[in-house]
Amino acid sequence: MPIGEFGGAPPLATEGSPALTTPMYWMYEMAHASLNPARAVTDAAKMLFQNPLNPWSQTEFGKSVAAGCELFERTTRRYGKPEWGLDSTEVNGVRTPIEVRSVWEKPFCRLLYFDRQLARPLRSPQPRVLIVAPMSGHYATLLRGTVEAFLPTHEVYITDWSDARMVPLSEGRFDLDDYVDYLIEMLHVLGGNVHVIAVCQPAVPVLAAVSVMEAEQDPYVPVSMTLMGGPIDTRRNPTAVNNLAAERGIDWFRNNVITKVPFPHPGVMRDVYPGFLQLNGFISMNLDRHVDAHKNLFANLVKGDGDLVDKHRDFYDEYLAVMDLTAEYYLQTVDLVFVKHALPKGEMTHRGVPVDPSKITRVALMTVEGEKDDISGLGQTEATHALCSSIPDHRRVHYVQMGVGHYGVFNGSRFRSEIVPRISDFMMSAASVKPSLAAAAE
């Protein structure tokens, strides 16, 4: 499956991306709506040729028609936000049900808690983990496997970012400063004694939020922060994504990929980087592999290979579900992170105040990178250690997972077997030697 670009930094437009004006999104909506009758016809045809009472359903021709109908429907539909599908986990050998509930909410994000309905209290409390999901086009459910891996041994919270087209214009803007404010407020709501994990893009705002909190001697700083495959310093080992942003500059993005949300969405007239254009960028990065995957879907539908069909459906139900990003957040991220390299240069500010990672003294630091990461190149996340110069050496760890790309840093078998245990050990070690505010001030 094409997963190299899955869950990366805020997606940049590709060479084939069209210039956008405000009517473009509206034309897209009208084109999508115009296909509704065709989708209805193909759905009916699919049901007809899959009906066991229809003798054609058992023929090569009938199966091919049904497969073609499904392929048409899947390639023309708009995919909604996927479900978490995490109903239970195993805690100390006991299958335990899970209730996913919101514990904090603002217009552009909810903080979700995976509440494990324990039959009996644990002998000792388990680490509380706030996973900061990427706000980069896909929904937080992209990290379903990440959450699932931590649930047996941790209390897990995750940021559930909102689709900008669903947020009314009356709710105001959302930019990188607001992102940092949201993270600080979440840490306050959690009341301390929590570990933060940033997956890819959030590495920059998480580092900024912790830096701001430390500078203000905030008592609710996290015990530790783990940054995974994040673009802290994209001057190191730059990837194609990094080079594209540097070559085009922020004005190109502002003039070519920003448009307004059309009616009838709640966020009508909000300036956004639209999900359908992001999806065009995602797919064009590995177009041949996507085409082959859908050819294989057709063949497997005709053969009746249910396992491979289900695998394809599960992947693309997630992959093709994208959300709009607010224009101000997207443009700031591209400009500050990929064009100006503001954080590693010491030029990043939050609400006009410099962001200084050297102020961090109480928070342990772990960075994780993938050997074959083609989104955040090797060394880009490790650069955090040079910026956080005041963290003692015994409270910092850097780990490179061999043999994995970007997606493998936060999901998959090696993530579960090799990365999660190391992060858990790091958290336990950080909690056991947590310095006090007074000691840090000295």
Side chain identity at 248, as an amino acid letter?
A: R
Which has the higher per-residue pLDDT, 241 or 255? Answer: 255
Q: Is residue 127 part of a domain?
A: yes
Instruction: Look up tokens 């990043």; give the residue.
Output: 348
Report the sign of the C-alpha dihedral through residues 305, 310, 313, 314, in that order: negative
Per DSSP, helices labelled H in 77-202 are 144-150, 176-190
Residues 103 and 208 in one domain: yes
pLDDT score for 15: 43
Residue bearing tokens 């000792």: 124
Domain membership flag for residue 71: yes
**Residues 132 and 178 placed together within one structural domain of the fold:** yes
Cβ–Cβ < 8 Å for 401, 368 = yes
Amino acid at 269: M
Q: Which of 3-7, 300-304, 382-386 has the highest mean pLDDT?
A: 382-386
- Is there a single domain that holds both residue 232 and residue 256? yes
Q: Which of 4-13, 119-128, 184-193, 262-271 has the highest mean pLDDT?
A: 184-193
Tell whether 40 is covered by a domain: yes
Looking at 33-37, 232-236, 277-281, which range is the least confident one?
Answer: 277-281
Q: What angle do CA 26, 27, 29 make, to 5 degrees?
A: 65
Residue 389, pLDDT > 90, answer: yes
Say what the pLDDT of residue 1 is. Answer: 33
Same domain for 102 and 8: yes
Q: Do residues 114 and 156 make contact, with C-beta atoms less than 8 angstroms apart?
A: yes
- End of a domain among 48, 79, 110? 79
Residue 138 is given by DSSP the state B
Distance CA 243, CA 250 (A): 13
pTM score of the predicted model: 0.89
Looking at the fold, whether 403 and 275 belong to one and the same domain comes out as yes
Q: Label residue 338 exposed, middle or buried (CB < 10 Å: 0-12, 13-18, 19+).
A: buried
Q: How confident is the model at residue 18, as a pLDDT?
A: 44
440 is a domain residue:
no
Read off φ and ψ for residue 234, nearest 5 degrees.
Answer: -80, 5
What does the alpha-carbon distance between residue 221 and residue 289 come to, in Å, rounded to a whole number? 43
Residues 41 and 136 in one domain: no
Q: Tell me the DSSP string of 82-113.
A: PP----EEEETTEEEEEEEEEEEEETTEEEEE
Whether the bond between 357 and the residue before it is cis, its omega within 30 degrees of 0, is no
Average pLDDT in the 14-36 region? 68
Flag whether 441 is in a domain: no
Q: Report the alpha-carbon distance of residue 409 to residue 420 in Å, rounded.
A: 10
Average pLDDT over residues 126-138: 93
The residue ranking higher by pLDDT, 21 or 375, is 375
Token pair, residue 149, equals 């891996």
Give the tens place of pLDDT for each residue, 402-434. 999 998 999 999 999 999 999 999 999 998 876
Using CA atoms, how far apart are residues 442 and 439, in angstroms rounded to an integer? 5
Residue 388: inside a domain: yes
**Cα separation of 375 and 120, whole Å?**
43
Q: What is the pLDDT of residue 125?
A: 87
- Domain span including residue 59: 35-79
CATH code of the domain containing 228: 3.40.50.1820
Q: How many domains does the chain have?
A: 2
Greater confidence (238 vs 99) lies with 99
Q: What is the pLDDT of residue 3?
A: 36
169 domain residue, yes or no:
yes
Q: Is the pLDDT reported for residue 382 higher than 90?
A: yes
Same domain, 286 and 187: yes
Q: Measured in whole angstroms, how far is the alpha carbon of residue 424 from the centre of its chain?
A: 21
Mean pLDDT of the chain: 89
Q: Is the pLDDT of residue 273 over 50?
A: yes
Q: Is 396 helix (H, G, I), strand (E, B) or coil?
A: strand
Whether 18 and 62 map to the same domain: the answer is no
Least confident among 52-66, 145-159, 199-213: 52-66
CA distance linking residue 89 with residue 320, whole number of Å = 27
* Whole-number Å distance between alpha carbons of 206 and 213: 11
Strand arrangement of the beta sheet that strand 155-161 belongs to: 88-91, 94-106, 109-116, 155-161, 128-132, 195-199, 224-228, 364-370, 396-401
Task: Examine the pLDDT at 20 and tell me if it is beyond 80.
Answer: no
Residues 193 and 57 in one domain: no
The model's pLDDT over 107-120, given as tens digits with 9 standing for 90+, comes to 999 999 999 999 88
- The pLDDT tens digits of the residues spanning 301-316 come to 998 888 999 999 888 8
Range list of β-strands (E), 274-373: 325-326, 349-350, 353-354, 364-370
Q: Which of 422, 427, 434 is closest to 369 using CA atoms?
A: 422
Q: Which of 365, 364, 366, 376 is nearest to 408 (CA)?
A: 376
Residue 327 lies in a domain: yes
Same domain for 387 and 283, yes or no, is yes
Residue 252: which of 331, 344, 180, 369 has the closest Cα? Answer: 331
Say yes or no: 75 and 89 in one domain. Answer: no
Confidence at residue 434, expressed as pLDDT on a 0 to 100 scale:
66
So what's the pLDDT on residue 360? Answer: 97
Same domain, 215 and 132: yes
**pLDDT at residue number 416:** 95
Is the confidence at residue 55, as pLDDT, over 50? yes
